[in-house]
Amino acid sequence: MAEFERKTNFIDANVQGSLVLRICLHWIGFLILTGGCFIFLQALLSIADGSLWVRIQKTSREFMLLAVLMLAILPAFILDSIRFSNRFVGPIYRLRRALRELNEHGHCEEIRFREHDFWQEIADDFNAVAAKLMATRDPAVAEQTTEPAKPTA
């Protein structure tokens, strides 16, 4: 397993950008739904003087602090999600790069994923297939990758 740190958080803009967009939409939707329910229920259940509209306005001002705090921690959730997504985006990115190299040049380096990345077995499967493919294209590689014949009983 590779034991080096990633230098970049945003590896695949298409996948990770979609993930960030969905997190933001869900977060804002949750905030609006929760805030609306909280404000409406507080206004209905409060025994304060004034009309329902006045109570809704008062409760909305009280909810603003919570809304600001929730929006303030949103970037931390986004950054954590991007870093977590590296565990599956990084291996696929590396696999795609190795496949492209194998296709264009007929050979590639063995791929290894970081220790905590997902899909470790994909690297092993790819390396086995790549070795067999390179062996069929280059006899010198075939001698290095073939196992010695086992004696039969």
What pLDDT is attached to residue 5?
Answer: 63
Output the pTM of the full model.
0.65
Q: Do residues 93 and 12 make contact, with C-beta atoms less than 8 angstroms apart? A: yes
pLDDT per residue of the chain (153 residues) written in tens, 0 to 9:
445 566 777 788 899 999 999 999 999 999 999 999 988 888 888 777 778 888 888 888 888 988 999 899 999 999 999 999 999 999 999 999 999 999 898 888 999 998 889 988 999 999 999 999 888 876 665 455 444 444 443
Domain coordinates in residue numbering, the chain: 13-143
- Res 52: pLDDT: 81
Taking CA 148 as the corner, what is the angle to CA 143 and CA 153, rounded to the nearest 5 degrees? 155
Kindly report the backbone phi and psi dihedral angles of residue 111, in degrees, each rounded to the nearest multiple of 5, phi listed first: -100, 145
CA distance linking residue 125 with residue 91, whole number of Å: 13
CA distances from 47 to 34, 42, 55, 113 (A): 21, 10, 9, 61
Residue 2: strand pairing partners? 114
- 126 CB neighbour count, 10 Å cutoff: 19
Give the pLDDT confidence score for residue 3 in this predicted structure.
53
